[in-house]
């Protein structure tokens, strides 16, 4: 089987293209692996590695050099920097809410104003996350861009 | 918050304070000195008061992200400084002629301050509403 790699300019253009005569078991495995890699990430809890679904992550938080993924029930440690999370998952509706947090827009219930140009994002688990004034504009632009 | 964003917000606040001071001057003037007559200089008074009331807003600036508690404390300090600035300016001009008038002016400053906060809150409320509508769209 030939393997080709073609460079693209933007993250959103990245894709895996399978060219096959028929969808064999091997191709099906590759397809499933590629789909899984895009929607899952490796996270750690009590020293064990887990594959967690990106869509289930409420938000990522950086706490003194470590980044944590907050799910409904568990909090996992992930081996990425917050800016990497922001860049890699911006196509999956994740957006920076403050210097230490990246939130999943699909897990936001609603927004409401806080003080002095800040906003609260009410997450699906009932938690309120502060969107700082610095990033409020970016969140709004992201929402507008996604909604169009 | 960048210094540019901070200055933009201060300018917006200054214009709102100016309108509020003009209104407060009209209301209190008609109560305490209904017969008073002014020259053209009086038109500049709200602008001058608004400018001096905006200066203490510098306590609200921080390059770092503030917690909600820190923000509230700075807001309170800002308000106290605005009261002090306004009452000092009015004292210098001889407008604090009695305790009840001083109290009325202090309450007027509080009212203008609250109106400015409320205007900011309503503006942010509209932004939040837009964001909620857009959020609904992307979820659909």
ipTM of the complex: 0.71
Which pLDDT band, with edges at 50, 70 and 90, does A147 fall under?
low
Over residues B85-110, the pLDDT tens digits come to 989 988 888 878 788 888 888 898 89
Which pLDDT band, with edges at 50, 70 and 90, does A44 fall under?
very high
Residue A135's nearest CA partner among B64, B1, B125 is B1
The answer to whether A99 contacts chain B (CB < 8 Å) is: yes
Q: Quick check: B135 and A110 CB within 8 A? A: yes
A 10 A CB-CB count for B52 gives 15
Q: Quick check: B138 and A117 CB within 8 A? A: no
Q: What is the largest CA-CA distance in chain B?
A: 63
The answer to whether A136 contacts chain B (CB < 8 Å) is: yes
The answer to whether B58 contacts chain A (CB < 8 Å) is: no
For chain B, give every domain's residue range. 3-139
Over residues B115-125, the pLDDT tens digits come to 888 888 898 89
Interface A:B, Cβ pairs < 8 A:
69
Query: What chain A residue is nearest to B68 in terms of C-alpha separation?
Result: A115
**pTM of the entire structure?**
0.69
Place of tokens 């939130």: A103
3-state secondary structure of B14: helix
Q: In this predicted structure, what is the pLDDT of residue A103?
A: 95
């Amino acid at each position: 089987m030939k393997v080709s790699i073609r460079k693209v300019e933007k993250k959103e253009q990245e894709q895996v293209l399978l060219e096959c005569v028929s969808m064999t078991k091997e191709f099906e495995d590759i397809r499933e692996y590629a789909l899984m890699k895009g929607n899952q990430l490796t996270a750690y809890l009590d020293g064990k590695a887990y594959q967690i679904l990106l869509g289930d992550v409420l938000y990522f938080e950086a706490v003194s050099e470590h980044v944590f993924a907050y799910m409904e029930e568990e909090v996992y440690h992930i081996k990425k920097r917050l800016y990497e999370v922001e860049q890699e998952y911006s196509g999956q509706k994740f957006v920076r809410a403050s210097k230490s947090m990246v939130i999943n827009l699909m897990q936001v219930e609603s927004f409401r104003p806080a003080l002095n140009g800040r906003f609260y994002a009410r997450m699906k688990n009932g938690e309120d996350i502060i969107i700082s004034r610095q990033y409020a504009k970016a969140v709004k632009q992201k929402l507008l861009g996604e909604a169009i | 918050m960048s210094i540019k964003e901070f200055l933009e917000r201060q300018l917006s606040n200054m214009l709102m304070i100016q309108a509020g001071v003009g209104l407060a001057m009209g209301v209190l003037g008609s109560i305490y000195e209904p017969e008073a007559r002014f020259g053209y200089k009086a038109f500049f008074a709200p602008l001058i008061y608004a400018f001096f009331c905006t200066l203490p807003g510098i306590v609200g600036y921080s390059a770092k992200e503030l917690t909600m508690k820190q923000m509230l404390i700075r807001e309170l300090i800002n308000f106290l400084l605005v009261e002090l600035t306004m009452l000092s300016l009015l004292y210098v001009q001889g407008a604090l002629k009695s305790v009840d008038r001083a109290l009325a002016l202090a309450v007027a400053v509080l009212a203008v301050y609250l109106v400015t906060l409320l205007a900011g809150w309503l503006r942010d409320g509209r932004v939040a509403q837009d964001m909620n509508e857009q959020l609904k769209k992307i979820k659909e």
